[in-house]
């Protein structure tokens, strides 16, 4: 439990376009501090179907923090300090796969890291940690997200490779074609190191990736305006999915995410 005396079971780290916690009803706002500085914004605590939820906008409520400057360690540490056991991370992505179209929902199970200058670990001091990322997303949480999507009739793809670039710029066409050739399905800027830090913290993690556009391999350059337009139409879908998914989460976890450090620390 945090020093604030507040706790939560599930963390929502909202991505581009998803800044408003009002879908959960009334909220209590708390300001947190961590050994790594302040999180992206004030954290909102709410309750849905008896489950305490902590909501944090990844880029800040006014989208003032670009992907490469997000304090990922502070964000995940704050969630851990609140007692969060599972993180659901809505995220906007581009598509590198003809079969994954703008407006589609993707629940990835793999990633490729092309970031360059971020803080990647909590273990960069006296203790060193080598954590397995063979299966970086929680399989139980991914499966439940898929089940929830099916239950409310939201078409989606379970299983895909997310390539994470540094940002804040979009890819060149050469880069986009390279990533597509590697077999990556979707592209974004915020997954890493968020997902790896969650693993270090023993927190289950899944991404609800909504596709805003085809990346520039498709020969039509993407603009921020186009992304925002499609993003707005995806937000309601994500809200509905969260309302369906969160009540499905029991207090007991059937995965091994909480034990990730047992064989990782040197």
Q: Which residues are marked as active site? A: 213, 215
**Residue 205 among known ligand-binding residues:** no
Tokens of 103: 């407006």
**Residue 59 among known ligand-binding residues:** yes
**Residue 119 among known ligand-binding residues:** no
**Residue 214 among known ligand-binding residues:** yes
Closest CA to 137 of 158, 114, 123, 116: 158
**Residue 58 among known ligand-binding residues:** yes
**Residue 213 among known ligand-binding residues:** yes
**Which residues fall in the annotated binding site for substrate?**
189, 213-215
């Amino acid at each position: 439990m945090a020093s604030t005396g507040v706790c939560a079971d599930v963390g929502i780290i909202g991505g581009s376009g998803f800044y408003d916690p009002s879908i959960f009803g009334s909220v209590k706002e708390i300001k947190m501090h961590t050994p790594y500085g302040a999180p992206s914004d004030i954290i909102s605590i709410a309750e849905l179907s008896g489950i305490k939820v902590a909501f944090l906008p990844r880029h800040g409520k006014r989208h003032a923090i670009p992907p490469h400057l997000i304090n990922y360690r502070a964000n995940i540490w704050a969630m851990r300090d609140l007692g969060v056991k599972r993180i659901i991370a809505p995220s906007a992505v581009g598509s590198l796969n003809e079969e994954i179209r703008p407006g589609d929902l993707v629940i990835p199970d793999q990633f490729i890291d092309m970031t360059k200058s971020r803080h990647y670990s909590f273990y960069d001091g006296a203790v060193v940690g080598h954590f397995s990322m063979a299966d970086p997303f929680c399989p139980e949480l991914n499966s439940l997200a898929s089940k929830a999507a099916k239950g409310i009739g939201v078409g989606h793809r379970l299983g895909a490779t997310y390539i994470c670039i540094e940002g804040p710029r979009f890819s060149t066409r050469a880069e986009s074609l390279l990533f597509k050739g590697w077999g990556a399905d979707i592209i974004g800027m915020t997954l890493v190191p968020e997902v790896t830090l969650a693993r270090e913290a023993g927190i289950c993690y899944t991404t609800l990736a909504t596709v805003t556009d085809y990346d520039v391999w498709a020969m039509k350059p993407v603009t921020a305006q186009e992304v925002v337009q499609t993003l707005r139409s995806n937000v309601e879908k994500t809200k509905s999915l969260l309302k369906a998914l969160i009540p499905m989460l029991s207090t007991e976890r059937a995965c091994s995410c909480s034990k990730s450090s047992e064989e990782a620390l040197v």
